[in-house]
Amino acid sequence: MRLPRFVFALFFLLAASIPAWAASSSFDADHVRVQLVFRKAQLFPGAGDYGGLYFKLEPGWHVYWKNPGDAGEPPHIHWTLPEGVTAEPLQFTAPKRLPLGPLMDYGYENEVLFPFRLVIAKSVKPGTAVLHAKVDWLVCRGSCIPGKADLEITLKIRATAPAGEPDDGPGAEIWRRLAVLLPDALPPSERATFRPTKEGFRLTVETGQRELSATFFPEDQDIIDNPAPQKLTPTPKGLILDLKKDASLTVNPAQLRGVLELSGGRAYEIVALPPGVTAAPVEQGTAGGTLSAEQASGPKAPAYPTVPFNGAGNSSAGPGSAGFWARLIRVTGLAFLGGLLLNLMPCVFPVLFLKALALVHSGHRELHKLRTHGLVYAAGILVSFWALVGVLLGLRAAGATLGWGFQFQSPVFLALMAGLLFFLGLSLAGQFEIGLTLTSAGGALAQKQGYTGSFFTGVLAVVVATPCTAPFMGAAIGYALAQSPAVTFAVFTALAVGLAAPYVALTLQPAWTRLLPKPGVWMEVLRQAVAVPIFATVIWLAWVLATAYGASVLAALLASFLLLAIAGWFLGRWPAKRWTTAVAALILLGVIALAVSGQRLFGDARASIGPTGNAGLDSAAAGAWELWSPQLLAAYQSQGRPVFVDFTAAWCLSCQVNERVALNQPQVNQAFQTANVALLRADWTRHDETITQALMALGRSGVPAYALYAPGQSQPQMLPEVLTPGIVTDALGKLPKAGH
């Protein structure tokens, strides 16, 4: 049997794909050198200091500003930091206009420094601090090359700062030379306004002197026509700049945000408003930079940190501490328990039916074969989880931030999964026998098929299990995805063992197999009955696809079902024929092609999930659900209202059950209204980066998740993943009463 060799090879490839952690503060890549620089070589508890991400570029090559223009992507940095050490976001110096044919990019040539501020908590003890950063960027000159690097630097932490401490950090000279290029906030005595014109916008800036040179770089994309010339008209007290609007712009913006570069290297971050409209002044930022407009005006959104899978090291104990091992044991225990309970979830139920049926067939074979089937089934689950972790770690290394069940946000995956289960259901219902076609290849192949079937049934169990996060499992996964690769593998392995444990225990304990009924005629009826939950799962997947992507994609799925039914008819009408197998295989290839291109062939009409923002804030009544956004959450919190956020998805059966069993119950709705709770629903059916970041900030990596924000509290109370009306009403009853 070649299966163990295949499993070993797959595991070896997965292990080899995990990126190694670098131990250098600089990295030489194609056409660019990347380096971490710091103003000072020593840090001090209770204070902050400045560092920067430095790029040295070959002539003609460039990297991008935060708004890259017509194409491109700015650099990103994701940190793994010691406990008590935090890093603020990258800041951007004034860019250059970089024409590329008919397009215009905004970026930097030769060299550029992206400053950031490092903050050290008072609780940090003297010693050394190892700062690890994963950096990704895009460097271009006609063609573009994506790059990434692991950078690491060790700085000393002293107890107290001596007087007159010099700038002697690694890269201090680079810092002194380039950090001064950060744009300043526009002084209070100067002002910027704009008004729409027929062609675009007229930007008026008063600086107190006649300006003969000016370039405006918009912070927001798709506002102005980037390649169009910017017509400058000097005025006695400043300038007028005529900007052409972007061809896709249909509604004029409420403000123009960006960087205005003037003669003599002066650069200012401005927020231009229509004449007569006033706003809070832009605050002076760190290191000579400025805060963004969102930070400078309006209710401030909650600070959902960018927490990629590798970025939570600053919130947990190090691997050398007793607290780390205690936490790891506790979390792996929760993961194991979650895997056990995952067997009871409706997503896994049809697969367990299949294994129970296979176990009945194996009940009177040699015990070693029965045990082998159980171990191979467990190997299928383990390898699937390891493969999934390998994919997640690869995406994490590339700077992506996904969550548990992310594959159910792909229409191609949903269509293929529904087609697979539909085809399997046709076979179970009696349209054709998969075994007849396979056994025609000979007895040896049939024997191999038995173990292979057990292996891939374990794979199928994992695939259909991921949209449901069992109780106790969400916190374990959230912890694992924020840790090192070794910890992530340990937690996910515990989860896999929990999922496989019930069936393996049954195969390893021969006495328990006596409880199974003897094979007989009833097995054919049972096999056909198993098709019912299989088809029910297919209906659920079709509903998820239609909910997220619209009726046009559902039409493509139904067409693929018709093709699968035709393939099944060929296999049933002429069983065990090679030519029928070839015809069925060709039809199956057509189904795969339809799943991949169905959205394009049938149109791209997607189910609208509606806008986000502050619409209806003043008129929204308690008990009415609104679409979640960080701004809307912040606005309700600024009003002093409690807020309940339901993180959900159409493909999450646990979410749908909780809504029907708890959230939609009359007594719960009455409790919401009595407590004047604002109800927000964060729909994660399709991938939404903002929702992903919010979940990660709450320590969760999947849905369901329920957050209850009390008035005046920034951190919410997290409710369990399985809700009852009593759980919700008890939590609401603990909210402070109005006026108290």
In a domain? residue 250: yes
Note the helical H segments in 51-128. Answer: none
Domain identity same for 630 and 654? yes
Per-residue confidence band for 441, with pLDDT thresholds at 50, 70 and 90: very low
Question: Omega of the bond prior to 411 within 30 degrees of 0, cis?
Answer: no
Q: What is the CATH number of the domain that holds 160?
A: 2.60.40.1250
Quick check: is 225 in a domain? yes
* Neighbouring residues of 578: CB distance < 8 A, sequence distance ≥ 6: 440
Of residues 525 and 566, more confidently modeled: 566
**Among residues 18, 1, 15, 11, which one has the least CA distance to residue 150?**
18
Please report which helix (H) or strand (E) contains residue 144, including its range. Answer: strand 143-157
Contacts of 535 (CB under 8 A, 6+ apart): 421, 422, 425
CA angle 255, 260, 262 (to 5 degrees): 150
The reported pLDDT for the residue numbered 591 is 82
Whether 629 and 611 have beta carbons less than 8 Å apart is answered as no
Domain residue limits at 725: 625-733
Three-state DSSP class for 627? Answer: strand
Q: Which pLDDT tens digit goes with each residue over 654-689?
A: 777 788 888 988 899 999 999 999 999 998 877 777
Closest CA to 22 of 130, 107, 103: 130
Judgement on whether residues 108 and 254 belong to the same structural domain of the protein = no
| 578 to 28, 446, 574, 575: CA distances (angstroms) | 56, 16, 9, 9
CB 96 within 8 A of CB 178: no
Assess if residue 330 is contained within a domain.
no
Same domain, 430 and 546: yes
Instruction: Specify the range with the lowest mean pLDDT, choosing from 139-143, 617-621, 666-670.
Output: 617-621
Instruction: Look at strands 705-709 and 717-719 and give their pairing.
Output: antiparallel
| 598, 638: one domain | no
Percent of the chain with pLDDT over 90: 18
Distances (CA, A) of 465 to 132, 385, 468: 34, 11, 6
Instruction: Tell me if residue 519 falls in helix, strand or coil.
Output: coil
Tell me which of 180, 195, 210 is where a domain ends. 180
Are residues 418 and 565 located together in one domain of the fold? yes
Q: For residue 432, give the nearest of 223, 329, 572 by alpha carbon.
A: 572
Which ranges in 440-521 belong to alpha helices (H)?
Answer: 443-465, 473-480, 485-508, 510-513
Residue 356 resides in a domain: no
Helix (H, G, I), strand (E, B) or coil at 649: coil
Q: Are residues 171 and 127 in the same domain?
A: yes
Which one has a higher pLDDT value, 176 or 719? 719
* Number of C-beta neighbours around residue 514 at 10 A: 7
pLDDT at 231 > cutoff 90: yes
Say if residue 419's pLDDT is above 90. no
Give the total number of structural domains in the chain: 4
Q: Is residue 165 part of a domain?
A: yes
**Gap between the Cα atoms of 11 and 60, Å rounded:** 43
Instruction: Report yes or no on whether pTM surpasses 0.75.
Output: no
Question: What pLDDT, in 10s, does the model give residues 44-72?
Answer: 888 778 899 999 999 989 999 999 888 77
- Give the single-character DSSP code of 245: B
Instruction: Kindly state whether residues 126 and 253 are assigned to the same domain.
Output: no
Under 8 Å between Cβ of 206 and 190:
yes
Spell out the SS3 assignment of 272-289.
EECCCCCCCCCCECHHHC
> Looking at residue 296, what is its pLDDT?
32
Helix axes 485-508, 322-342, angle to 10 degrees: 40
Flag whether 247 is in a domain.
yes
Q: How many CB atoms lie within 10 A of CB 178?
A: 19
- Give the C-alpha separation, 309 to 304, whole Å: 14
Q: Looking at the structure, do residues 271 and 201 belong to the same domain, yes or no?
A: yes
Give SS3 for 161: coil
327 or 268, greater pLDDT = 268
Burial string for 425-459 (b: 16+ CB within 10 Å, else e) reads bbbbbebbebeebbeeeeeeeeebbbbbbbbbbbb
Q: Are strands 76-80 and 32-38 parallel, antiparallel or unpaired?
A: unpaired
CATH number, domain containing residue 711: 3.40.30.10
- Candidate from 10-14, 133-137, 645-649 with smallest mean pLDDT: 10-14
Reading the block at residue 683, the tokens are 């729909």
Residue 86 has pLDDT above 80, yes or no: yes
pLDDT at residue number 470: 45
Neighbours of 579 (CB within 10 A): 9
Do the Cβ atoms of 289 and 268 come closer than 8 Å?
no
From 192, 182, 188, select the one nearest 270 (Cα to Cα).
192
In a domain, 12, yes or no: no
Out of 116, 148, 180, a domain closes at 180
90 within a domain of the structure (yes/no): yes
Burial of 362-373, coded b for 16+ CB within 10 Å and e otherwise, reads beeeeeeebbbb
> Does one domain contain both 256 and 271?
yes
Q: Given a cut of 90, is residue 390 above it in pLDDT? A: no
Q: Return the DSSP state at 224.
A: B
Give me the residue label for tokens 């793994």: 80
Q: Does residue 602 sit in the same domain as residue 634?
A: no
- Judgement on whether residues 230 and 252 belong to the same structural domain of the protein: yes
Task: Tell me the average pLDDT of the chain.
Answer: 74
- The answer on pLDDT for 449 being more than 70 is no
Per-residue pLDDT tens digits for 544-570: 777 766 677 788 888 888 888 888 888
Answer yes or no: do 136 and 62 share one domain.
yes
Q: CB–CB of 77/90 below 8 Å?
A: yes
> Considering 138, 154, 180, which residue would you say is the last residue of a domain?
180
